[in-house]
Copies of this chain bind each other. A is one copy, B any other.
């Protein structure tokens, strides 16, 4: 009988290759990744990698698929500013972390050239935003923000300046930048900019 074989060796090979793709991305960036090198790093036959993935883009997309699964629980203090700061600090420390930061920026570049990677990355960010939306939604129902405020938009407004500086200027986000991002998102939200 014919069946899928998700367990055992296959899974081990998959994990080793996905990890190796991540390492290669962190070290050389997307342009420096080739599957022969990935196979060597993973301690896996070159043939296997080419058979199962075939292209760098497909392997990278699978890496992002994995990242979507790993969830980081949010803080919920009940105070909007504290919650947004906790979110901003999570983003800041992720971007400032040598491995995570390089990985994310490499993936952002990869997504522009491969639709499957782009779709996976969208799911990744959507999941993060959805995790933090309730903080804002509760603040709206408490009356701290105008009724009709779009919670997702507020959460994204916190991340945007941190990503922007990193991607256009290569600057790792500082604590000051984090606090300014929170203050700006809060001021805009209170002014009703994110009311749908």
Contact = CB atoms under 8 A, between A and B. Distances in A.
A102 B112 contact: yes
A4 B187 CA distance: 56
A169 B30 contact: no
A85 B187 CA distance: 19
As for how many copies of this chain the complex holds, the number is: 2
A134 interface: no
Contact of A164 (B109, B160, B169, B184): B160
Interface stretch (A44-52, A72-80, A118-126): A118-126
A70 interface: no
Would you call the interface of chain A mostly helix, strand, loop, or mixed? helix
Interface of A: 28-33, 56, 102, 105-106, 108-113, 118, 121-122, 125, 153, 156-157, 159-161, 163-165, 167-170, 180, 183-185, 187-188, 190-191, 193-194
27 contacts: A29-B109, A30-B30, A30-B31, A31-B31, A31-B56, A32-B113, A102-B112, A106-B112, A108-B108, A108-B109, A109-B109, A109-B110, A109-B112, A118-B170, A121-B168, A125-B168, A156-B161, A156-B165, A157-B161, A159-B164, A160-B161, A163-B167, A180-B193, A184-B188, A184-B194, A185-B188, A191-B191
